[in-house]
Amino acid sequence: MNFIATIQEEVANALLIHFECDVDSDSVLINTTKQEFEGDYTVVLFPFLKRAKASPDKLGQILGTHLEENTNMVSCFNIVKGFLNVSLSNSFWLDKLAVISTVENYGSLPQRSDKVLVEYSSPNTNKPLHLGHIRTILLGWSMAQILEKAGYQVTKTLIVNDRGIAICKSMLSWLKFGDNKTPASTGTKGDFLVGEYYVKFDQELAKEYTAWQNSDEGASTYEKLKKADDTIESFFKGFKNKYFNEHSALGSEVKAMLIKWEQGDEEVKTLWKTMNQWVYDGHDVTYEKLGIHFDKAYYESETYLTGKEIVLEGLKDETFYKADDGSIWVDLEDVGLDKKILLRSDGTSVYLTQDLGTADIRYEELGTEKMIYVVGDEQDYHFKVLFEIMKKLKRPYSKGLYHLSYGMIDLPTGKMKSREGTVVDADDLIEEVIQEAREGAKERGDVTQLPSEEQTAIFNNIGLAALKFFILKVNPKKRMIFNPADSVDMQGQTGPYIQNAFVRIQSIFRKSEEALPAAAFEDYQMVEVEKDLIKTLVNYPVVIEQAALQYDPSIIASYSYTLAKQYHKMYHDVRILTAETELAKTFRLHLSKTVGSILKSSLNLLGINVPDRM
RNA sequence: GGCUCCGUAGCUCAACUGGAUAGAGUACCUGACUACGAAUCAGGAGGUUGCAGGUUCGAACCCUGCCGGAGUCACCA
């Protein structure tokens, strides 16, 4: 099947036979030939010139002739400036299409026994999901699909940060200012309702802090602790944490609540459960709208204790050490990192503790030796540390850990900040793109006769395709800029553009009455646009492997765009149902059908569905 | 300040991991619907790849130094 490897081997063979050069066939670089030149694939000759002691033209001539004579696929070749361009024969490509069109699940890689876990989303239980979450969710979902296609057994998970001081803030705030309002009583989505009280807490705290700054105590603290270059403003900005921990009335109330929670206080736990459930219900609605789900959820509240045990064990076998105040640390200076705290002096856990526990629990339950964390790049350091600790603890899965680090999404106005109210809520954004799709479709009028539920499904489909493709087409590592005002495009390099190619294909098959004849078209002489499509189809498994290996869905995104683009061009350039000959028609119908199924398959890897009409 | 990442057309992104004249989309200008769906196709214009050196047959990519931006360096998560 892999003819590229065959070409590489033959080139290596020829070098050995004709020039006594022994080269590894893997090191023979084969590129797809650029559009401007004639040929399908290109052998780069430069690396062999010195060793073969031959000019590029002579070397190319000999290699090309060798390929012609020793493979049954090369039809001709040419040499341009050190590049050997070879063309594969018409029948070679026709064979490829015949095979691809009959293979079930084309593109799937052989099944492996490896189990992989993908973690994404990781929400807090005190606010709604926003644009940033959308990127993890889409990346995680897509990555899971890709890995499954690449043969892995995948479990999709999320970790919910359901405990800690932040959650207590919204709880306390609701108790104080909530008037017993519930999602049901107000008709507000649960995550938004809880989010309101979380924000409210910060506002009240800010008020309290301002008042304190103007009090005698505040003034004397400033005089006592200010540094030479401090202004009043800069001082109090820097002092904020300390104020919250040592002086704030609200602060001490919240901390008291956290302690009650840890002690299992009935009243606090009940409130905690109730409010968390409001948020989960809200988040579930958002996930549902996005068309994604999880196989299993983990909760920090259920894993942090295991984390503590791991830390204590590590202390026993001296992987970790205890400081004078009783806090427990790990020293990672031998691998170029810092010392990190794992357990506070009062015995409570920190962020790292929880992740240690979660990983162990997952491994025990699922046996996944590969775990992929889809988390923003602001946590690059955290994961470096986490993975090093696991190595030190000699966990069996420590070699299979990967942080799929993605860049933050910026707005044209700069960074999103929840405190400044510049976040884009996921729900709003989803509604917006669907609305956009709705208006676009209404204008075109192709679907307006359909029943309204069907229309709604189509609009959702198109809007989400636009949004998902827009985010997934960008390399995850890169920071990206998102302009919600322009919302998302539906033309050009977009999700709907690709969907449209699929819809056109469906439309053809609705119109063609006869059943598709058998794939007998050996004598058909293809035109360029048709061959280009087959070339792209042939590449599908390679692209999947690459995307899986590099943890990068954007590779799939650009692949499906290329395929759609080539199809649109062919559709425009040649007639299908009214083709010149029966042979051409048969060939094009088979080609169309295969392109359609690969478009569907590749979009599916991005979490995008294809409609039959739009 | 230390460490890490980033800088490509007006804008949003590519570039097969060191290969040919750096490609797409968008916006702008032109052309193509009585032809299988125009959410389409074709053409034009748009670049000193932040700057300066270096490495080699060849550099957006590797090395060095600047300039600009982001992240991180919490007993926050």
Nucleotide nearest to A33 (CA to C1'): B20
Binned at pLDDT 50, 70 and 90, residue A411 comes out as: confident
Hey, which bits of A217-301 come out as E strands? 296-299
Asked if strand B comes closer than 7 Å to A569 Cβ, the answer is yes
Could you tell me where the beta strands, DSSP code E, fall in A295-383?
A: 296-299, 321-322, 328-331, 339-343, 370-376
At A336, is the pLDDT very low, low, confident or very high (cuts 50, 70, 90)?
A: confident
The bridge status of strand A30-32 relative to strand A480-481 is: unpaired
Q: Which nucleotide is nearest to A558 (CA to C1')?
A: B14
Identify each DSSP E strand in A68-188 by its residue range: 74-80, 83-88, 115-119, 153-160
Q: Would you say residue A374 lies in a domain? A: no
If phi over 0 gives left and psi between -120 and 50 gives alpha, with beta otherwise, what is residue A193? alpha
pLDDT at residue A192, rounded to an integer: 95
Average pLDDT, chain A: 92
Structurally, how many domains does chain A consist of? Answer: 2
Confidence of residue A36 (pLDDT cuts 50, 70, 90): confident
Range A199-209 average pLDDT: 91
Section A578-591 average pLDDT: 93
- Check whether residue A251 has its CB closer than 7 Å to nucleic acid strand B: no
What is the rounded CA–CA span in Å between residue A19 and residue A66? Answer: 12
Q: Return chain A residues 2..31 having CB < 7 Å to nucleic acid strand B.
A: 29, 31
Among A4-13, A20-29, A353-362, name the one with the lowest average pLDDT: A20-29
The pLDDT assigned to A419 comes to: 64
Q: Three-state SS across A180-229?
A: CCCHHHHCCCHHHHHHHHHHHHHHHHHHHHHHHHCCHHHHHHHHHHCCCC
Report pLDDT for A461: 96
User: How many Cβ atoms are within 10 Å of A159's Cβ, its own excluded?
Assistant: 21
**C-beta separation of A89 from A73 below 8 A:** yes
pLDDT at A414: 75
Q: Look-up: residue for tokens 């020793």?
A: A70
Torsional sign, CA A431, A437, A442, A445: negative
Please determine, for residue A148, whether its predicted confidence score (pLDDT) is greater than 60.
Answer: yes
Q: Are residue A173 and residue A267 in the same domain, yes or no?
A: yes
Q: Quick check: helix, strand or coil at residue A373?
A: strand
Measuring CA to CA, how many Å separate A439 from each of A443, A457, A614? 6, 14, 12
A480: nearest nucleotide, CA–C1' criterion: B12
Nucleotide minimizing C1' to CA distance for residue A508: B36
Length A571 CA → B40 C1' (Å): 9
Q: For residues A175 and A272, state if they share a domain.
A: yes
Q: What is the dihedral of CA A115, A116, A122, A128, to 10 degrees?
A: -90
A75 assigned to some structural domain: yes
Residue–nucleotide distance: A477 CA to B63 C1' (Å): 24
Which of residues A43, A68, A88 is at a domain's end? Answer: A88
- Answer whether A471's CB lies under 8 Å from A424's CB: no
How long is the CA A161 to C1' B18 vector, in angstroms?
45
Query: Quick check: A578 CB within 7 A of strand B?
Result: yes
Q: How far is CA A596 from each of CA A148, A547, A555, rounded to the nearest angstrom?
A: 21, 21, 19
Mean pLDDT of A61-66: 95
Average pLDDT over residues A569-598: 95
In a domain? residue A173: yes
Q: What does the pLDDT average to over A58-65?
A: 94
Report if residue A30 sits inside a domain: yes
Chain mean position to CA A534: 28
Would you say A409 and A463 are in contact if contact means Cβ atoms under 8 Å apart?
Answer: no
A467 CA to B69 C1' in angstroms comes to: 27
Instruction: Identify the H or E element spanning A58.
Output: helix A56-70
| Whole-number Å distance between alpha carbons of A366 and A88 | 47
Specify the pLDDT at position A334: 86
- Report pLDDT for A262: 86
**Length A28 CA → B23 C1' (Å):** 25
> Quick one: what percent of chain A has pLDDT higher than 90?
78
Q: Which nucleotides of B are covered by protein (CB under 7 A)?
A: 4-6, 11-17, 19-21, 24-27, 35-42, 57-58, 70-77
A319 pLDDT above the threshold of 70: yes
Give A413 CA → B38 C1' in Å. Answer: 35
Judge whether A19 lies within some domain. yes
Q: CA–CA separation, A437 vs A440, rounded Å?
A: 5
In this structure, what is the dihedral angle of CA atoms A596, A601, A603, A608, given to the nearest 10 degrees?
Answer: 110
- Interface pTM (ipTM) of the complex? 0.95
A377 touches strand B (CB under 7 A): yes
Give the neighbor-by-neighbor strand order of the sheet with A41-44. A30-32, A41-44, A83-88, A74-80
A16 domain-assigned: yes
Q: Is residue A441 part of a domain?
A: no
**Where in the sequence is the domain holding A259, given as residue range(s)?**
164-277
pLDDT at residue A6 tops 70: yes
Specify whether the CB–CB gap between A570 and A508 falls below 8 A.
no
Q: Report residues 483-522 of A contacting strand B, contact meaning Cβ closer than 7 Å.
A: 483, 489-494, 496-497, 500, 503-504, 507-508, 511
Tokens 């010195």 belong to which residue? A50
Q: What is the pLDDT of residue A194?
A: 95
CA separation (Å) from A455 to A434, A437, A441, A488?
11, 11, 9, 20
Taking alpha carbons only, the member of A549, A554, A588, A485 closest to residue A135 is A554
CATH number at residue A43: 3.30.1360.70
- The A 101-140 residues near strand B by Cβ under 7 Å are 124
Q: How far is the CA of A84 from the C1' of B19 (A)?
A: 12
User: Which of A42, A68, A88 marks a domain boundary?
Assistant: A88
Q: Is the pLDDT of residue A1 over 60?
A: no
- Assess if residue A272 is contained within a domain: yes
* CA–CA gap between residue A269 and residue A257 (Å, rounded): 10
Going by pLDDT thresholds of 50, 70 and 90, the confidence category of residue A486 is confident
**Band of pLDDT at residue A144, cut at 50, 70 and 90:** very high
Distance (Å) from CA A411 to C1' B3?
Answer: 27
Nucleic strand B within 7 A of Cβ A571:
yes
Single out the residue in A225, A252, A277 at which a domain terminates: A277
CB within 8 Å of A449: residues ≥ 6 apart: none
